Each structure stands twice: as structure tokens, then as C-alpha cells.
Amino acid sequence: MIARKPLYSVDALPVLQNRVYPTADEAAACPRGDLRLELDAECGVVRNAAFDASLVRYDRHYNNEQSHSAAFERHLAQVGEIVRRHLGTRRLFEVGCGKAAFLERLAAGGCEIGGCDPTYEGDNPAVIREFFSPALGVRRRQLVLRHVLEHVADPVAFLRLLGEANAGGTIYIEVPCLDWILARRAWFDLFYEHVNYFRLDDFSRLFGRLSLACRVFGGQYLAVVADLGSLREPAAIRELAAAEPEPSFPADLGPPPVESAAEEVIWGAASKGVIYALLRQRGGGKVAAAVDVNPAKQGGFLPASGVPILAPEEFFRRFPRGTTVRVMNGNYLAEVRQTLGDGYPCEAIDDH
């Protein structure tokens, strides 16, 4: 059998892009894996065929918290309204709640909600420090699943596990949008850690009943509300997937040639910044520093590239006025410009 050419491939990416390291040497030695994106014939979702789950370890050192940004807070407020409107305010449960910022936002607004995540570090008794499993006894709840499904090796099997353990119910799902990535040629938004890449139509194929399917956060994310009991059987999903066209990946998707040897400063030490810094280095470019408002990341180093992460105050001390800053997410461009003032020109890498 002739092997199919991947839709997109990159070698030796960090397996966890939201794990920062205390030294540049430890960052350079981080675990790595290859990215080989292919269309899964069983469910029609684009996935990393080279993914090895044994390489991935989620613990308290993993930090994907974005709620320090006012722009992201507005996004969470929008999602909170979606959850209240479609799932109600009682018997909510967030699967993979991370540091529980969204869960506690809902609780502060009067919602009855619990959650689970092995990376949780707080003292909320409603949060279980474990991965989801039927042994948790979560049943007949309204489920929230934000930025989890893209990390799961078999997303359909996981959704079925949720539905069976919970006896059906309604679920809110939020994942990155592959259509946005391709339209923006966002090579910096393709990661090892994300096994799956979803299009909006994927969810109509997976579920028989959707009450919401739309794009949020400037189109970067998909927001879906589905009846878990309407998850289709594998044979039905496979039949629908067979009729789907393969997504069109640009032949030259990837970082553009480095035009200047000057060091860059990037704003954003999360996923996009990790990939941007690493692949720019591989192309002969230099990234002097990454700036981030998340205190848990400041003082650390980006995985693989070893780029230092600075607080905004440290950036101002180290870099003179006139230094250009590349913002890793255009959703944050306005607030970054407000923080930098007139002395530091900045541009978003996804602004095209």
C-alpha cells in the first residue's frame, strides 16, 4: 500500500506547548514529537497520525490560563452566556477545567458547577484533580468541554464515554477552528499537543442534534452545543465522512523566509508564540524574548526554543523605545497597543 502524503508535517515539535521551563537548557531538552496531519477516514476529522499519547504528561506545571487578558475575559463572558442559555445554571460539570478560571467565573455568577482536571491547583472542593472517567460518578449533568477534545486521541470514543457515563445530556464544546487556521495560513497554530483539528461541519457529522454551531473569539474557536444522546454510531459517521472533501492545505503553508537577522520580541508565551519562536529559529531568525501577562509564565523559558519569558515591566526595562513587537494573537492587539503606548510599534502575525 502506498502511504498517503500528509496534509501538513513538521518534525520535532514540543509535545506540550503550555509547559514552561525554569532554564533555557531544560527548555531545549523538552520532549518532542512529530506532526503528520491526515484526514481520519473513520470520522472525517483532521488528526496527527504521528501522535503518541505516552509522550504527553499533564500535571500542575501545565498552564494554559488566558484569563489575565481583558480580551479573553470578554470571550469567557460570551461563552458564559451561551452556557446559561443552552445548559442552564444547575448541575453543570466542566470536564478538563484546567485551573478552573471559567468554572469559578460561572460559580461566582450563581451557577451550580463542579469540574475535573489533573492540573488544578486550587482548593475548590467541587473540582476533582483527575482526568474524567466513569468512576467519578458524574451522571445526569450538563457538561462543558472547553479546549479538551482537540487533545484526545480518539475524540468520538471520548464523546461516547461522556454520553454513556452521564446518561446523555447536553454538552457545550469549544475547540480551535481549522477553517480559520487555513484561511489565515496560521502555521503557528498547528501543534503536536493538538491531536485533532475541527471544522464546523465535523460536528453536524458527529451529532444528530445540534442547538448551536458557530464561530467565536474572532473566528478562532468553534462553539457547539449538542445532545450527547444524538452522537452517531461509528458506521454512520464513517459513511458521512466518506462524502466529505479533503480540506485544502496551502502547499507552502509554513513560516515565510527570514528577511532580517534582527532579533524580534514577541507578545504571547502560549501556543502560537512557542511555535513561532521555534520555527523562526529554524529558519535562521532570532527571537530575543516573549512577553506575557500571565505571572505563572514570567521568568520561565519557552519549550524547545529556550526563549525567555518576560513580564511587561521587565520588557520596558530591557528594550528601548522603537523596538517592534510581534503580537501572537490579533485578538489581543488593541490591549497590547494600549499597554505599549506610542513608543513601541506592534503588529499581529495573524493580521492578513
Q: pLDDT tens-digit profile of 265-279?
A: 999 999 999 999 999
Max alpha carbon distance in the chain (Å)?
A: 60
Q: Which helix (H) or strand (E) is 315 found in, with range?
A: helix 312-318
Instruction: Select 263-348's CATH number: 3.10.129.10, 3.40.50.970, 3.40.50.150, 3.40.50.720.
Output: 3.40.50.720
Residue 43 burial (CB < 10 Å; 0-12/13-18/19+)? buried
CATH 3.40.50.150 maps onto the chain at 1-254
CATH 3.40.50.720 maps onto the chain at 263-348
133 vs 279: CA distance, rounded Å: 37
Predicted pLDDT of residue 246: 87
Amino acid sitting at position 202? D
Phi and psi at 211, nearest 5°, equal -105, -10
Rounded to the nearest 5 degrees, what angle is found at the Cα of 343, between the Cα atoms of 338 and 344? 70
Q: 212 with 223: CB under 8 angstroms?
A: yes
- Homologous superfamily (CATH) for 1-254: Vaccinia Virus protein VP39 (3.40.50.150)
Question: Which residues in the chain show pLDDT less than 70?
Answer: 1-4, 63-68, 352
Q: Would you give the distance in Å from CA 131 to the centre of its chain? A: 17
Q: Annotate 176-220 with DSSP letters as a single string.
A: EBHHHHHHTT-GGG--SS--EEB-HHHHHHHBS-EEEEEEETTTT
Q: Of 225, 233, 249, which is closest to residue 146 (Cα–Cα)? A: 225
Can you give the pTM of this predicted structure?
0.94
Predicted pLDDT of residue 237: 97
Cell of residue 130, nine digits: 483527575
